[in-house]
Chains A and B, each alone.
Chain A
Amino acid sequence: DAKTTQPNSMESNEEEPVHLPCNHSTISGTDYIHWYRQLPSQGPEYVIHGLTSNVNNRMASLAIAEDRKSSTLILHRATLRDAAVYYCILRAVNSGNTPLVFGKGTRLSVIA
């Protein structure tokens, strides 16, 4: 799996939008961009994934740069419950080799 680079930590005020960046300059054409998060003392949970187009779901939005070398996870209104470590992970299409390769992630703190 190709490598990703994320800031170690970010801080946000409650009820404000949060933009979590991820750089993946060596991404290949068949790599999907996945985001997971890990709340304190819990297992990771899936957030969103995409290939080329921006994606929205009930949890977040994923904005993918046109050259696909970077992406941004957007939480539209941060809540205290969103405080977690966010992981940006690249996964090759149809590789049949499915474990997630976690980096260090970004630790998001949300201030009330």
Chain B
Amino acid sequence: DTAVSQTPKYLVTQMGNDKSIKCEQNLGHDTMYWYKQDSKKFLKIMFSYNNKELIINETVPNRFSPKSPDKAHLNLHINSLELGDSAVYFCASSQDRWTNNEQYFGPGTRLTVT
């Protein structure tokens, strides 16, 4: 069984479109995250949710809106896609929000905006 899954794996779309990426974890974890890895391979946190509550929101454009319908799911909706949004997006989860719990990452969603 996949611990953290993301759909779709690849997403190609045009500028201006709205798209969503879905993430699910079957580990019973309380905390979930979205990270972005750009073309230079830098990984940066975007959002963090704990028990469906937003706890971290880095300086991300408000075109990006995370939604957590329950603690096993954290979806990422992106409005008015721009070329600069092209990247690999990783979902992750951890048991809770405290420091020493390892994070489990999904396989990533490669978003290409043309």
Contact with B along A23-43 (1 / 0, CB 8 A): 000000000101010100111
Partner of B33, one of A45, A49, A93, A99: A99
Residues of chain A within 8 A (CB-CB) of B97 are 96-98
Q: Using a Cβ–Cβ cut-off of 8 Å, how many residues does chain A contribute to the interface with B? A: 25
Tell me the complex Cα distance, A5–B104, Å.
24
Query: Is the pair B44, A102 in contact by a Cβ cutoff of 8 Å?
Result: yes
Q: Tell whether A102 pairs with B102 under 8 Å between CB atoms, given A43-B90, A43-B107, A43-B108.
A: no
Among B31, B35, B100, B107, residue most surrounded by chain A Cβ atoms (within 10 Å): B100
Among A44, A98, A104, residue most surrounded by chain B Cβ atoms (within 10 Å): A98
Q: Does residue A92 face the partner (Cβ distance < 8 Å to B)?
A: yes
Residues of chain A within 8 A (CB-CB) of B105 are 43-45
Contact with B along A73-111 (1 / 0, CB 8 A): 000000000000100000111111111111010000000
Tell me the complex Cα distance, A85–B42, Å.
11
Q: Tell whether A98 pairs with B94 under 8 Å between CB atoms, given A43-B105, A49-B102.
A: yes
Tell me the complex Cα distance, A95–B111, Å.
32
Residues of chain A within 8 A (CB-CB) of B90 are 43-44
Q: Name A's B-contacting residues (CB within 8 A).
A: 32, 34, 36, 38, 41-46, 49, 85, 91-102, 104
Q: Name B's A-contacting residues (CB within 8 A).
A: 4, 31, 33, 35, 41-45, 48, 56, 58, 90, 92, 94, 97-108
Some 18 contacts from A to B, beta carbons below 8 A apart, are: A38-B43, A42-B107, A42-B108, A43-B106, A45-B105, A46-B104, A49-B100, A49-B102, A85-B41, A94-B98, A95-B99, A96-B97, A96-B99, A98-B33, A98-B94, A98-B97, A98-B103, A99-B56
